[in-house]
Amino acid sequence: MGYEWDMNTNRDGNGSMENLFRTVGLRKVTIDSLPLPVFYKDKDGKYLGCNVAFELFIGRKECDIVGKSVYDLGPKEIADEYFKKDRELIRDGGKQVYEWVVKTTSGETRNVQFHKSLFNDDLGNVAGIVGSVLDITNQKQAVLAQEKLQQQLLLASKLASVGSLAAGVAHEINNPLTIIKGSVALLKMKASMSRLDTEQLLKTLANQEAAVDRMTNIVNGLLTFARVDTDTLDSVDVQKVITDTLDLYGSLFLQSALGVETRFHAGDMLVKANFGKLQQVLMNLLTNARDAMESVATKGLVRVQTLEQDGQIVIRCCDSGVGIEQDNLAKIFDPFFTTKEPGKGTGLGLSISHSIISSFGGKILVSSEVGVGACFEIYLPKAIS
């Protein structure tokens, strides 16, 4: 297949050419039977032949391409890239695999993968290149569809979290509004009585400013959380992610008479991640912790801790809830698996969280004891400064 034979040195033991022609014919039949497009060129880039699948792929007969190069078959800018790849393979040897986007004779765009290697002549010298073309369009489309579904599930999970946050955010905003309203009433009263002094005025205005700042931080935090995330990874301070998340979610714990305790590792705690997606993971863990502790008679407590271990950043989130049955631990990250009562959970939160952490190159583990609580640990590679 694609070899150049010297007819004077490739005779069989009887000096007959018949077996040689039969061998060449067999090789041609063999490659023509392959479903993948196959081609072979000499070391100068001239086509020596191809199979039927390759003829269909490029829309030309084998007799029309033999002796021609890629420059004779397509636009120069594309031919330049193909020729460059061929030169690299001949120079470096081995095998070559790369993806490319091509247009068929019908004008359809397809994603393909080229697999190429070298073949030698009878003396062991490089004689040319043999290659095949694998159409991976369907696989590419399937991956894109999966990524799109993942984004939709993430957004749905976020919207569900935003809904649960609504009551807590309203409570958090109402408190600063009460301070502002009371301060304004006090200023009006003192102004009407001509008893307004500068020190009192500055103190009252400072209280109002702090209340406005608090509302601004809450609203900005909610907007940051609710926005659609990209796949971009940046250096993220995990302790800021935790702090911002607790600023949003902490009031829900207070309303449910639940406590939150944090213990942060000293020093930089930077990881390569996406701020919004990591916040979504923490929100899912806090939501599960709250739900697990609400049914416990004693006052619940969730502990969030950060530490550095073997070059990794660890986020530990432990609750004092009902715990998880041992039989369920192996299924806890499965899509649509939930231990919550119908209507209270979709079974997607932990599955999405597992997928997000994996995309950061990390892992998420769980341990639990029924009646004691559950503990989730997130391991993320430390960002290189």
Q: Count helices and strands (H / E) in the chain.
A: 10, 12
* pLDDT beyond 80 at 62: yes
Same domain, residue pair 197 and 161 = yes
Residue 166: its pLDDT value, please? 57
C-beta separation of 96 from 135 below 8 A: no
For residues 121 and 171, membership in a common domain is answered with no
Last residue of a domain, one of 83, 116, 135: 135
Tell me which residue has tokens 């416990």.
296
Query: How far apart are the C-alpha atoms of 22 and 3, rounded to whole Å?
Result: 15
Mean per-residue pLDDT, 372-379? 94
- The answer as to whether 2 is a domain residue is no
Domain stops at, among 84, 102, 135? 135
149/129 same-domain check? no
Q: Give the list of residues 6+ apart from residue 18 with CB closer than 8 angstroms, or none.
A: none
pLDDT computed for residue 107 by the predictor:
73
Per-residue confidence (pLDDT) for residue 238, from 0 to 100: 93
Which of 102, 117, 135 is the last residue before a domain boundary?
A: 135
Are 128 and 228 within one domain?
Answer: no
Q: Are residues 149 and 127 in the same domain?
A: no
Q: Give the model's pLDDT for residue 17.
A: 47
Other beta carbons within 10 Å of 215 = 17
CATH number at residue 287: 3.30.565.10
Mean of per-residue pLDDT scores for the chain: 79
Whether the predicted pLDDT of 70 surpasses 50:
yes
Q: Which DSSP category does 80 fall into? A: H
Q: Which residue has the higher pLDDT, 3 or 270?
A: 270
What pLDDT does residue 342 have?
Answer: 60
H helix or E strand, kind and range, residue 134: strand 126-135
pLDDT of residue 2 exceeding 60: no
Phi and psi at residue 323, to the nearest 5°? 85, 175
Question: How many whole angstroms separate alpha carbon 289 and alpha carbon 301?
Answer: 9
User: Is residue 346 in a domain?
Assistant: yes
Residue 181 β-bridge partners: none
pLDDT(246) > 70: yes
* Confidence bin at 295 (pLDDT 50/70/90): confident
Whether 6 is in a domain gets the answer no
Count of structural domains within the chain: 2
pLDDT band at 124 (very low <50, low <70, confident <90, very high): confident
- The verdict on 80 and 202 lying in the same domain is no
Q: What is the DSSP string of 31-59?
A: HHT-SS-EEEEETTS-EEEE-HHHHHHHT
* Beta-carbon contacts of residue 209 (< 8 Å; ≥ 6 apart): none
Q: Are residues 316 and 260 in the same domain?
A: yes
The residue among 287 and 348 whose pLDDT is bigger is 287
Hey, how many other C-beta atoms are within 10 angstroms of the C-beta on 282? 23
Torsions phi, psi for 176 (to 5 deg):
-60, -35
Q: Tell me, yes or no, whether 35 and 150 share the same domain.
A: no
Write out pLDDT tens, residues 142-168.
Answer: 888 877 776 766 666 666 666 555 555
145 and 126, same structural domain?
no
Q: Which tokens in the block code for residue 154?
A: 């993430």
What's 31's domain CATH number? 3.30.450.20
Residue 327 sits in the same domain as residue 186: yes
For residue 54, what are the domain limits?
18-135
Residue 118 inside a domain? The answer is: yes
pTM of the complete model: 0.50
115: pLDDT strictly greater than 90 = yes
**Listed residue (131, 86, 129, 123) closest to 5, CA to CA:** 123
Q: Are residues 183 and 210 in the same domain?
A: yes
